[in-house]
């Protein structure tokens, strides 16, 4: 397939005295994507270019402008980043609208699927990353509307979602756009009836894509608009059956393909479910009990140190407070019991606590009890992964509401945590980001400590 007529634009041409076009790397419809050089910032970029005759506009320029605005609102490491948008008259007397984006190297997911089904774990991981991007887009009010294998790029750092060219805002009229701009196998049934833009249509397309990755073919054979409009489906959607694959993944994929939009899961629920299915098996009951006990002990010690620090004065072992006239001199508590010390400041002495002998837990039938009321209480008090992430984000929301954390700082931290949990399962990046934000003065001390405390629970949840 040859590229569309670029209106005489050639390699070496410069847009707006800044972007030097080097080579065409992709094309489709009326647009061409060029590898280009940004002469102002001295970096390589991708330029999506659409040009036409002056005074003629069939709506394509509005689409590319909307793409730039929608993508610019979406901040996520697995979505393409937009740098600039503009319109210019070329040397050939044509009007060019262009979007400047980050240049990514990789291969389309469609090329990989053409080679055969992906291993189920790889397919689930790609779908989980895409579901996370879509969840963020939906939170920002954006519906992608063209989630396809062609619009997913496999790079060295993971799968990236591209091309928000027909994106719309939630609730926006979706009349006559599906047959004009959508891709038939991925279009949700409700889009054929002219509904408003709904995140559920992205979830349907994600289900088609996951099914295709797992089996090598889409769930339904229809590939043209005529076939799709004439088909009458009955019964539940098909299930992707892959040997050794957890049943949860197949069930999630099938739920995304449900005909009624309200019956489909949200994108974030798909991401969470896939991550849970990919998680390693939980340890044995005894090892799990030991882990909870260690966590509970650490939390208890941390709470004790915090309370002691708040109550203590500057001298170790002393608690600030008035001392009644004639009382005994202040004491320091150590392993040998109370010892009198001299102090020039009034203090309040604390009586020594009675010593307690530590004993092993009671045994039943020669074996240590697996379940006791206190172990159940410890287990129930530790939040799940999704709860821990929500509590982390709630701390950021409180900081935003109080005007103590800027919205861009909060969004940055949310995204870094989401990426750490979803993809790498390594919390070092978010810990480093918190430290950086604190160092630059955009994250107050108390909120830094609160966020780091929530990360303890996230780490425990990730550990299983």
Mean pLDDT of 357-379: 45
Q: Which of 49-58, 171-180, 206-215, 330-339 has the highest mean pLDDT?
A: 206-215
State the pLDDT confidence band at 207, using cuts at 50, 70 and 90: very high
Residue-level pLDDT at 319: 38
Residue 297 lies in a domain: no
Provide mean pLDDT across the span 81-105.
81
Mean pLDDT of 159-184: 71
pLDDT above 60 for 26: yes
Q: Which of 213, 243, 278 is the last residue of a domain?
A: 278
Q: How many domains does the chain have?
A: 3
- Among 119-128, 224-233, 312-321, the range of highest mean pLDDT: 119-128
**How confident is the model over 330-337, as a mean pLDDT?**
38
Average the pLDDT over 34-45 and give the result: 92
Q: Within this chain, do residues 241 and 112 fall inside the same structural domain, yes or no?
A: yes
**Residues 447, 377 share a domain:** yes
Tell me, yes or no, whether 378 and 449 share the same domain. yes
Residue 126 lies in a domain: yes
pLDDT band at 206 (very low <50, low <70, confident <90, very high): very high
Instruction: pLDDT band for 283, please (50, 70, 90 cuts).
Output: low
What's the pLDDT at 244? 92
Active-site annotation holds for 84: no
Specify the CATH number for the domain of residue 38.
3.30.200.20
pLDDT, tens only, 392-446 = 999 999 998 889 998 888 888 998 898 888 766 788 889 988 988 888 888 998 9
pLDDT at 336 (0 to 100): 39
Q: What is the pLDDT of residue 265?
A: 96
- Confidence band of 312 (pLDDT split at 50, 70, 90): very low
Q: What pLDDT is stored for residue 440 in this prediction?
A: 83
pLDDT of residue 296: 58
The mean pLDDT of 99-120, rounded to a whole number, is: 91
Q: How far apart are CA 13 and CA 96, in angstroms?
A: 13
pLDDT band per the 50, 70, 90 thresholds, residue 175: low
Q: Which of 224, 251, 278 is the endpoint of a domain?
A: 278
Average pLDDT over residues 39-46: 92
∠ CA(178), CA(182), CA(184), 5° rounding? 95
Is the sign of the CA dihedral 167, 222, 235, 230 positive or negative?
A: positive
Same domain, 179 and 63: no
Do both 269 and 181 map to the same domain?
A: yes
Residue 231 — pLDDT band, cuts 50, 70, 90? low
pLDDT of res. 156: 81
Tell me if 94 sits within 8 A of 7, measured CB to CB. yes
> Active site residue: 13, 51, 78, 146, which one?
146
pLDDT surpasses 70 at 321: no
Indicate whether 189 and 44 sit together in one domain: no
pLDDT value at residue 404? 92
The answer to whether position 85 is within a domain reads yes
Is 96 in the same domain as 145? no
Dist CA 413 CA 395 (whole Å): 11
| pLDDT higher at 309 or 62 | 62
Same domain, 173 and 246: yes
Prediction pTM value: 0.57
pLDDT score of 86: 84
Return the pLDDT at 272: 93
Question: For residue 281, what are the CA distances in angstroms to 143, 278, 296?
Answer: 35, 9, 22
- Choose between 28 and 262: higher pLDDT: 262
Please give the residue range of the domain that contains residue 51: 14-102
- Asked if pLDDT for residue 300 goes beyond 70, the answer is no
What are residue 200's DSSP bridge partners? none
- Could you tell me which residue, 378 or 48, shows the higher pLDDT? 48
Is the pLDDT score of 269 beyond 70?
Answer: yes
Answer yes or no: is pLDDT of 376 > 70: no
pLDDT recorded at residue 87: 82
pLDDT at residue number 255 = 96
pLDDT, one tens digit per residue, over 120-153 is 999 999 999 999 999 989 988 889 888 999 989 9
Q: Are residues 114 and 146 in the same domain?
A: yes
Q: Report pLDDT for 367.
A: 43
- Percentage of residues in the chain having pLDDT higher than 70: 65
Pair 123, 250 in one domain? yes
Q: Are residues 155 and 26 in the same domain?
A: no
Residue 350 domain-assigned? no
333 within domain boundaries: no
Say what the pLDDT of residue 362 is.
45
339 compared with 191, residue with greater pLDDT: 191
Q: Considering only 247-261, 267-281, 333-347, which range has the smallest mean pLDDT? A: 333-347
Q: Does residue 310 lie in a domain region? A: no
Instruction: Return mean pLDDT, the chain.
Output: 75
């Amino acid at each position: 397939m040859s590229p569309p007529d670029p209106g005489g634009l050639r390699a070496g041409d410069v847009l707006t005295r800044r972007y030097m076009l080097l080579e065409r790397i992709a094309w489709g419809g009326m647009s061409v994507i060029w590898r280009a050089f940004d002469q102002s910032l001295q970096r390589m970029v991708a330029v999506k270019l659409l040009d036409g005759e002056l005074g003629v506009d069939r709506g394509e320029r509005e689409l590319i402008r909307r793409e730039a605005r929608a993508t610019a609102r979406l901040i996520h490491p697995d979505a393409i980043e937009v740098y600039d948008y503009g319109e210019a008259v070329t040397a050939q007397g044509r009007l060019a609208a262009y979007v400047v984006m980050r240049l990514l190297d990789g291969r389309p997911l469609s090329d990989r699927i053409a080679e055969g089904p992906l291993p189920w774990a790889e397919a689930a991981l790609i779908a989980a990353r895409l579901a996370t991007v879509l969840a963020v887009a939906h939170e920002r009010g954006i519906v992608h509307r063209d989630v396809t294998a062609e619009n997913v790029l496999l790079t060295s750092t993971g799968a990236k979602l591209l091309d928000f060219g027909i994106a719309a805002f939630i609730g926006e009229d979706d009349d006559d756009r599906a047959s004009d701009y959508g891709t038939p196998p991925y279009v949700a049934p409700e889009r054929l009836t002219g509904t408003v833009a709904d995140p559920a249509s992205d979830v349907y397309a994600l289900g088609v894509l996951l099914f295709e990755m797992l089996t090598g073919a889409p769930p339904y054979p229809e590939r043209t608009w005529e076939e799709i409009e004439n088909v009458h489906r009955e019964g539940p959607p098909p299930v992707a059956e892959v040997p050794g694959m957890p049943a949860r993944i197949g069930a999630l994929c099938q739920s995304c393909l449900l005909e009624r939009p309200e019956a489909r899961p949200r994108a974030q629920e798909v991401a969470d479910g896939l991550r849970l299915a990919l998680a390693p098996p939980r340890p044995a009951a005894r090892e799990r009990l030991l882990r909870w006990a260690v966590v509970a002990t650490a939390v208890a010690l941390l709470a004790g140190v915090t309370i002691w620090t708040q109550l203590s004065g500057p001298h170790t072992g002393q608690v600030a407070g008035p001392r009644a006239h004639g009382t005994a001199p202040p004491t320091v508590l150590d392993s040998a019991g109370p010892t009198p010390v001299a102090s020039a400041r009034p203090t309040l002495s604390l009586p020594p606590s009675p010593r307690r002998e530590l004993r092993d837990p009671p045994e039943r039938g020669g074996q240590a009890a697996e379940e006791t009321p206190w172990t159940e209480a410890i287990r129930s008090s530790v939040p799940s992964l999704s709860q821990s992430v929500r509590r982390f984000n709630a701390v950021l929301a409180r900081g935003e509401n109080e005007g103590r954390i800027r919205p861009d700082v909060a969004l940055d931290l949310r995204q870094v945590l989401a990426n750490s949990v979803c993809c790498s399962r390594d919390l070092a990046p978010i810990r480093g980001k918190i430290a950086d934000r604190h160092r630059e003065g955009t994250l107050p001390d108390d909120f830094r400590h609160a966020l780091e405390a929530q990360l303890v629970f996230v780490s425990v949840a990730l550990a299983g």
